[in-house]
Structure 1
Amino acid sequence: MNRKLETIRNIGVIAHIDAGKTTVTERMLYYSGTSHRVGAVDKGTTETDFDEEERERGITIYSACVTFHWRNHVVNLIDTPGHVDFTAEVERCLRVLDGGVVVFSAREGVEAQSETVWRQANRYKVPRIAFINKMDREGANFEGTLDEIRNRLKANPVAIQIPIGAGPPHLAEAFRGIIDLVEMKQLTFDNEVSPPAIKLSDIAEDQLQRAQEWREKMLEPLYDLSEELMELSLAEEPIPADLIRSVLRQATLSHQIQPVLCGSALDGIGVQPVLDGVTYYLPSPQDVPPVEGTNPTKKDAKETRSPDPDEPFCGLVFKILPAKHGDMTWVRVYSGMLKQNSRLLNPGQEIKENCAQLWHIQASRKDQVESVGAGDIVGVIGLRHSVTGDTLCDTKAPILLESIEFPETVISMAIEPESSAEKDKLADTLEMMKRQDPTFRATESKDTGQTVISGMGELHLEVIRHKLLRDFKLDVKVHKPRVSYRETVGGSAKVTGECHRVVGGQQLFAKLTIQLEHVDNPAQPVVVMTKCPPDKVPFSLIEAAMEELQQRGAGGGVIGGFPLGDIKITILDAEIAEVGSNDTAFAIAAGDAFEKAMRAAKPVLLEPIMKLQIVTPEDHLGDFVGDIMKRRGEIAKTETRNGEALIDAHAPLAELFGYSSAMRSLSQGRASSSMEPLKYAAAPQEVANTFLM
């Protein structure tokens, strides 16, 4: 089934948790005729939150893809999580999407995760429209939210709609409709009839002057982009709606503005215009620049692929749903045609894969197709080795696209099977879960034999634990979560490592002088190099020493054996004897030098610092500030809005375990919070002392 490129929209719905993303998605599916009832998050009846854990918690955990039609367009829509623990789901979706709908709550405005997803969309250059939701809530503030989008996100929002009223029905000025500034019409919504109806009428007299003022605000940034628009305005002639939409589209695709709409998804107000906005203002695959990559067979020469079905096939794996009878791999097709039973190249892994079946995905349902073309998103069954971020391409025209980078894990816990019979089953299950979730890690501790699982936060690990117990029926024992520390050095040290040993009856000798120092190099945690004079020692011996230093660096530091980072080791000099100086001797000398240097260069324990945002009634502000100080935290900023206090703070993850319970007791259950990894910073000496080996 091939779809016309200009009619395809690959979009994501992204936002902070509880802004209403899934409710917006459910309304879109209902109004497009894809579903026959409106799913409710609170009742666990939504299309896209089909996992049992999602329905129990009332939050989105896994991104879900749905395809539907709207006004002769095909929309591939991905509903993404809002909780920061599952930010990888947003990351990988934005990597392959062409446009985004960013949802904001009119009451809470721009929240912590709103900033994160906006930054992610900026990084991947995703054009977007904004939807200010929950206009029916008490304290809803359209203009305040618009200002926050402009100031906090450094964006250029342009309102193309304004609300009529704000707040719940019992208020005199309750939210009751919207004004379309492009058509200059008033829209009211009747959801009691089937299909739901939108009534267009002339703008009420008491709203007309306000609408004209907002329309001028909308047009001002567009005059510089269109001479025709400017000339019509100067001549005081009517400006056609189609011309305004055309200029708005041009400005949106070039990232100069972000059109802003408003409504209440729960009440079914304003969602159809958002769908219209998707077709009017967000890009089709042919509006997106050709994807860039390298040709691995030509010394990584630059390659591009246009969204053209006649070009060689090229696609990117961005999500895997493991299953016993064959994983479902989600692929964004960038160029060419992909057919069932075709043979594909994975250039990153230098392997060939078999594409057995193709499926268009409808959340938990799917429809099999024989082929898909450029610009589409498809589920593939039959791939055995490809993982998230891998490129798939035509075997005769190799191209390697940029992969997807994910943040490092910050929290770990040990997990062990209750019986040896469960051990193999646990190992297989963890491997399957690692394929599904690129931010999930599972390793076996060499010291204890325990399996350690790592993730992005307490909720992330809790969801994984529940999955193991409930979905896979594994009888496992879980230990308390622990922080993922790092190690580095605070200074520099020049030392000499030696080897004077008898091994296998042979006297071994080697001396190696190294310099170990701190460098800021996040791309490569441990850098090993040599400045040893080449005529002094055979290079094969130096290579053996460098390999040992690299292995020691990968093995961890001297405080608690935690992963090392930002360290540079330079071999300065070496000595050999006439006999007994071989690879083994130099490896032993390198190991001795590494241990001495690490201890002499002032080892430092690094702990993850979290960015914490708290929203609480103003009368609890002092309690929260005091509590954060007790947790070794610092207050970055406080502000008040609509009778609530907003606190931005930075605090060590080690002090934030179980914070949601403490927060509830501090505020009688009236506060909310979100946190995300911010940076690694030096931990106090008393914390380091608890790990010293």
Structure 2
Amino acid sequence: MNKLNLGILAHVDAGKTSLTERLLHHAGVIDEVGSVDAGTTQTDSMELERQRGITIRSAVATFVLDDLKVNLIDTPGHSDFISEVERALGVLDGAILVVSAVEGVQPQTRILMRTLRRLDIPTLVFVNKIDRGGARPDGVLCEIRERLTPAAVALSAVTDAGTPRARATALGPGTDPRFAVRVGELLADHDDAFLAAYLYEDRVLTGKEYAAELAAQTARALVHPVFFGSALTGEGLDHLVCGIRELLPSVRGSRDAPLRATVFKVDRGAHGEAVAYLRMVSGTLENRDPVTLHRVDHTGRVTEHTGRITALRVFEHGPAADPSLATAGDIARAWGLKDVRVGDRAGQLDGPPPRNFFAPPSLETVIRPERPADAGRLHTALRMLDEQDPSIDLRQDEENAAGAVVRLYGEVQKEILGSTLAASFGVRVRFDPTRTVCIEKPVGTGEALIELDTRTHNYFWATVGLNVGPAEPGAGITFRLAVELGSLPPAFHKAIEESVHTTLRHGLFGWQVTDCAVTLTRTGFASPVSAADDFRAATPLVLMDALRQAGTEVHEPVSSFELEVPGTRIGLVLAKLAELGATPGVPTAEGDVFRLEGTMPTSLVHDFRRRVPGLTQGEGVFLAEHRGYRPAAGQPPVRPRPAGPDPLNRDEYLLHVLKRV
């Protein structure tokens, strides 16, 4: 049987969870369509999801269309949970992007479509809510072509839009005389062979040939078919199901190939055990199989972690998973991999690690337990949540050991985190005000050395010399050798490199150091006295001495924005942008609406987004995306350094470290 891993993505409240319910009902998986408002949907299984009526975690449900098995992955729509969407994107064969026929193309919709196009994921567009008051299918189709993709082709049309009588009818050569012309011209734009056949006067292309070329170009993400309907009533669903079956590419992998799978989600079972969700790429997996997990850490280093499957369930019917053999294309739940993390790759490691599609969270907050006695439970709970969502980047609070620091995309995520800790772990918490996460970059070069001398007293039985300087933008941290590779035992080299990456998580102002080139210039050791711990302890002192000489500059995150404003409000909006320190471009008029692009500090995005409805009388549209970093204006913001030995204070550092070396 062919298999298709299908993602459903949308701006919040566009109706994607309702569409998931309708598809499961259409396929006979459920007898009754669940309601988001009533909290009876299949894929919103968390109590918080049912209470709030939003999707927080990705969920999987499976159904069968003829000879096609579809693993449906329902993803969050709120921008604060974009990391869940990112993990799902890495395992998809195709996607359905849901757009509301009332609200039209919304900010998050545009971000999602840009990413889908960038990744060449075959995508169908479903325009939902055609039966709602205010539905405007023709206008929304124009928005899709203008704001999402010019290669959108409508495969259905709507009558009686905005009323309970709304109907979607399939379009084709037999129903619309101009259909073949519109579709033919669009397909001819992307394929020279089809263009030649389309223009050939002695032969008219058949409907099957149009359909075959449409499927081929959809599978290559060159064109994007658009369907209209209502997830609430099921209208237009037949057309969408036909598109899923005939237009999106399915897979049938070889069982004889080596095992390759990706962990895209980690849950906790009834007894607190880790449950890994794996997308099978090739090979097979069954109960009691040994598995090697490959993990890429923040330094780019690949580590191996071994385990054995103690139970395996393959999604076969709705949200249910049965004991079975997992093969290529399957989504499986696996127990027994105690050290599993999101992003791990199981089996054979091929190619570079998957890259991040969205920017990392640019906010952070400190979480503290309301009752100091709950500190231990809080840290245990946060470690479990960090396994499920590594983007929170958990670390201990620098000023209070009872607290912890986590990264966030927004305030809604912070509210959900607090509710989860209270409801699932029984720990009530309070949050410090959210702060923006900056980075540091070296501005000059510096060099430092600790030298081993067997004739004198040594704090460390190690010689370490380091040079620090700027690297290319986007390079992260590069570690180079200006010494012979064999000048030290491999374990000592490894200790130095690991210590460099760990130390640079906190620069002169406390922020992560990046775009930094570190060169090992001197080494030495005294056998058999020297140990890896000597090099691990000496490196931070040398590195921070060199970094202090080089100097660093704090950079704050900056976002690009797009803004649509009624002409009567453009002056007020421009004044507010100037007041906030944003850098707007020149407004361009499109009828009675002005479109404006520019940049602003990411720290201002949340506040400005809240102000847009009031500034524009509810008619403005605001879209912002992370666009990198720029030097922070004024006094550089400082982040407290972690508790423990501080290599910027030599005497204090030696007092702490020498107890262990």
- Please give the TM-score of this superposition, normalised by the length of structure 2: 0.81
Q: Say whether 1:567 aligns with 2:533.
A: no
495-504 or 112-121, which moves further after superposition? 495-504
Distance (whole Å) between structure 2 residues aligned to residue 75 and residue 514 of structure 1 = 54
Residue equivalent to 1:206: none
Letter in 1 for 2:388: Q
Helix, strand or coil at the partner of 1:383? coil
**Residues 507/426 of structure 1: CA separation in 2 closer, same or farther (3 Å cut):** closer
Give the whole-Å Cα distance in 1 for the aligned partners of 2:640 and 2:91.
42
Aligned residue type for 1:516: V
**Runs of 5+ consecutive residues of structure 1 not aligned to the other structure:** 186-210, 287-306
Match of 2:217 among 251, 254, 276: 251
Determine which of 316, 338, 351 is the counterpart of 2:262.
316
Aligned to 1:30, which of 1, 25, 31?
A: 25
User: Where in structure 2 are the equivalents of 1:39-188 lying within 5 Å?
Assistant: 39-136=34-131, 142=137, 145-153=140-148, 156-164=151-159, 167-169=161-163, 176-182=166-172, 184-185=174-175
Could you tell me which of 554, 565, 590 is aligned with 2:504?
554
Matched with 2:390 is: 438
Distance 2:469 2:610 in 1: 42
Conserved 8 A contact 1:317-1:388: yes
The alpha-carbon distance between structure 1 residues 177 and 392, as it changes in their structure 2 partners (threshold 3 A), is same
Deviations 1:436-472 (A, max 9, x none): 1131221113453231121222222221121112222
* Paired letter, 2:61: V
Query: RMSD of aligned C-alpha atoms?
Result: 4.3
Per-residue deviation, 1:244: 2.9
Residue in structure 1 matched with residue 421 of structure 2 by the alignment: 468
**Is the CA contact (8 Å cut-off) linking 2:156 and 2:169 kept in structure 1?**
yes
2:491 is aligned with 1:529: no
Q: Is the 8 A contact 1:441 1:455 kept in 2?
A: no
| 1:215 equivalent among 180, 184, 207 | 180
Given the alignment, which residue of 303, 319, 323 partners 1:369? 323
Look up the match of 1:382. Answer: 336
Q: Return the alpha-carbon distance in structure 2 between the equivalents of residues 125 and 688 of structure 1.
A: 39
Q: Determine the C-alpha separation between the residues in 2 that align with 1:315 and 1:253.
A: 22
From the superposition, tell whether residues 361 and 388 of structure 1 become closer, same or farther in structure 2 (CA, over 3 Å): farther
Question: Does residue 285 in structure 1 map to residue 251 in structure 2?
Answer: yes
TM superposition shift of 1:474: 0.5
1:459 aligns with 2:449: no
What is the CA-CA distance between 1:687 and the residue it aligns to? 4.5
1:428 aligns with 2:380: yes
The answer to whether the 8 Å contact 1:316/1:401 transfers is: no
Cα deviation for residue 83 of structure 1 reads: 2.2
1:485 positional shift? 1.5
Deviations 1:2-59, CA, capped at 9 Å, x for gaps: xx12xx3221112333333223222222322323333333443333223233333332
Contact residue 59 and residue 74 of structure 2 kept, 8 A? yes
> Which residue is equivalent to 1:651?
600
Residue 445 of structure 2, aligned match among 479, 493, 515: 493
* In structure 1, distance between residues paired with 2:540 and 2:261: 45
Q: Which residue of 2 aligns with 1:517?
A: 469
Task: Quote the Cα distance in structure 2 between the aligned partners of 1:220 and 1:354.
Answer: 52
Match of residue 306, structure 2, among 346, 351, 375: 351
> Secondary structure of the residue that 2:366 maps to in structure 1?
strand
What secondary structure is seen at the aligned counterpart in 1 of 2:178? Answer: helix
Please state whether the residue corresponding to 1:182 is helix, strand or coil.
coil
Cα distance change of structure 1 residues 384 and 509 upon mapping to structure 2, 3 Å threshold: closer
Deviations 1:104-134 (A, max 9, x none): 3345544433333234324443222222334
Equivalent pairs, count: 625
Residues 225, 75 of structure 1: CA spacing in aligned structure 2 closer, same or farther, 3 A cutoff?
Answer: farther
User: Are the aligned partners of 2:366 and 2:397 in contact in 1 as well (CA < 8 Å)?
Assistant: no
Out of 239, 263, 283, which is 1:273 matched to?
Answer: 239
The answer as to 2:423 corresponding to 1:479 is no
Partner of 2:572: 623
8 Å contact from structure 1 (residues 332, 378) kept in 2: yes
Task: Report deviation, 1:488.
Answer: 1.0
| C-alpha distance in 1 between matches for 2:313 and 2:493 | 49
- Alpha-carbon distance in structure 2 between the residues aligned to 1:670 and 1:154: 23
Q: CA deviation at 1:281?
A: 0.4
Distance 1:499 1:60 in 2: 57
Question: Distance in 2 between the 1:587 and 1:336 partners?
Answer: 41
Alpha-carbon distance in 2 for matches of 1:82, 1:445: 31
**Residue 632 (structure 1) aligned with residue 581 (structure 2):** yes
Residues 28 and 272 of structure 1 are in contact (CA less than 8 Å); yes or no, is this contact kept in structure 2? no
Q: Give distance in 2, aligned partners of 1:82 and 1:66.
A: 17
CA apart distance, 1:376:
1.7
Distance 1:574 1:73 in 2: 61
Give the conservation status (yes or no) of the 8 Å contact 1:553–1:564.
no
Structure 1 residues 606 and 45 mapped into 2: Cα distance closer, same or farther (>3 Å)?
same
SS of match in other structure, 2:512: coil
- Cα deviation, residue 612, structure 1: 4.2
Residue type at the aligned position of 1:484:
V
Q: Deviations over 1:409-453 (max 9, x none)?
A: 311111122345422222221111112113122111345323112
- 1:327 and 2:306 correspond: no
Distance 1:434 1:311 in 2: 33
SS in 2 for 1:212: coil
* AA of the residue aligned to 2:177: Q
2-side partners of 1:503 and 1:452: how far apart?
45
Measure the CA separation in 2 of the matches of 1:372 and 1:545: 40
**Could you tell me whether the CA contact under 8 Å between 1:514 and 1:571 is conserved in 2?**
yes
Task: Report the alpha carbon displacement of residue 95 of structure 1 after superposing the two structures with TM.
Answer: 1.3
CA distance in 2, matches of 1:445, 1:161: 55
Quote how far apart the aligned CAs of 1:629 are: 2.5
Please tell me whether the aligned partners of residues 556 and 629 of structure 2 are also in contact (alpha carbons under 8 angstroms).
yes
The answer on whether the counterparts of 2:398 and 2:640 sit within 8 Å (CA) in structure 1 is no
Amino acid at match of 2:125: A
Distance 1:453 1:16 in 2: 25
Identify if the C-alpha distance between structure 1 residues 250 and 62 changes in structure 2 by more than 3 Å, giving closer, same or farther. Answer: same
Residue 677 of structure 1: aligned partner = 626
Give % identity.
26
Q: Check conservation: 1:65, 1:362, Cα contact below 8 A.
A: no
1:399-438 map, 5 Å = 399-400=349-350, 402-406=352-356, 407-438=359-390
- Is the contact made by 2:452 and 2:458 (CA closer than 8 Å) also made in structure 1? no
Distance 2:329 2:459 in 1: 67
Pick from 336, 339, 347 the counterpart of residue 283 of structure 2. Answer: 336
Displacement of 1:606 in angstroms is 1.3
- State how far apart, in whole Å, the 2-side matches of 1:308 and 1:509 are: 54
Higher mean C-alpha deviation, range 91-100 or range 649-658? 649-658
C-alpha distance in structure 1 between counterparts of 2:493 and 2:137, whole Å: 64
Q: Secondary structure at the match of 1:345?
A: strand
Q: 1:255 offset after TM fit, Å? A: 3.0
Q: Which residue of 1 aligns with 2:16?
A: 21
Change (3 A) 1:430 1:549: closer
Please give the secondary structure, in 2, of the residue aligned with 1:469.
Answer: helix
